[in-house]
Amino acid sequence: MLKFKGIIPAVLTPFNNKGEFDEEAQRENLRFLIENGVHGLMVNGSTGEAENLSREERRKNVELAVEEAGGKIPVIAGTGVPSTKVTIDLSKDAKDAGADAVMIVTPFYLIPNEEGLIKHYKTIAEKVDIPIVLYNIPQHTKVNLDSILIEKLCNEVSTIVGLKDSYGNLSQFADTIARVGDKISVLTGCDDLILPSLILGAPGAIIALANIAPKMVVELFEYVQKGEINKAKEIYFKLLPIARAIGSEYNFPAPVKEAVNLLGRKAGPPRSPITQLSTKEKEEIKKALKHAGLIQ
C-alpha cells in the first residue's frame, strides 16, 4: 500500500495581475519546492484555492506537478467537493493527469450523516481506482472525521491510504494514530502543531508553511526522525510566528501568498472573494518572516 512520509507542501496556485492561472510561475514554485527537498506535492487543496479553480485549471495544476516531480516524489491532487458525482469526475481527471493519489475533503455545505459520509467515500473508491487521502477540516466543513469514524472508513474502503488532519485537536489526532497509524499515513495539516504531531508519531505533514520555508520544515522533520528534538524545537520556534500568522480560518490563503510574495517568489493575488491583506496584516507577516531569518 502507498504510504506517505515527510514534508508535503499544500501548494498554492499563483495568479497573474489579471487573475489568470500563471502556469510558468507555478512551474517555478514547484521546482523551488523540489530543490529544497520536499517529499511530495499536494495541489488543488485549500492553500491552492481549489474551490476558485475551473475544472481545466485543476487538471493543469496536476499535470504541472506531475511533470515537475518526474516520478521522483508523489503528487496528491485535491478532488473533494460536496457532490459525490463531481468528486468522482475530478478524481478521474486527477488520475488521468498522473496523480499518485487524491485527497478528498469531507462534503461541506451539503452536510451528510455518518451513513452518507461512508457511502460517499465507498462510492468514489468503487468508481475511481486511485489511492485516497482523507481530509479532515471541520472548522470549514462542519463535518468531523473523528478517530472512530476514520477507523470505520479504513475498514470499509481499502483504497484509503492516508489522512490529512487539520482539526487541531491533538487528543483526537493521537487517538487516530493509535487506531489506524499502522494502516494509513496519519499526517498533520496544522502548521502550528507540526512538531508535537511528529513527536506523537505522525509520519509527516501536508502544510501551507512548506510553501514559505520548505528547507527549514524539511530540516525540522529530519531532526525529529533522528531523535534530535532540541534542534527540531529551535526551528519550530523560529517558524511558529509564521504558522500562527497564516493560520486564520478567514481570508485563507491570502497570508500564505503574501509571505511568498515578500520572499520574492511568485504567488500573485488571491481570487475573490478572498482579498489581499491589510497593511497591519502585511506587517505581521513581515515580522514573522524576520523572526525566522527568512528576510532582513
List residues with catalytic annotation. Answer: 135, 164
If you compute the radius of gyration of the chain from its CA atoms, what whole number of angstroms results?
18
Q: Which residue, 39, 74, 31, is CA-closest to 265?
A: 31
Gap between the Cα atoms of 257 and 267, Å rounded: 5
Q: Which residue, 1, 3, 5, 2, is CA-closest to 202?
A: 5
Gap between the Cα atoms of 201 and 224, Å rounded: 10
Q: Are strands 75-78 and 101-105 parallel, antiparallel or unpaired?
A: parallel
Gap between the Cα atoms of 47 and 41, Å rounded: 12
CB-CB contact of 289 with 263 (8 Å)? yes
Gap between the Cα atoms of 190 and 206, Å rounded: 8
Gap between the Cα atoms of 201 and 181, Å rounded: 8
Q: List the alpha helices (DSSP H) in 226-253.
A: 229-245
Gap between the Cα atoms of 296 and 243, Å rounded: 19
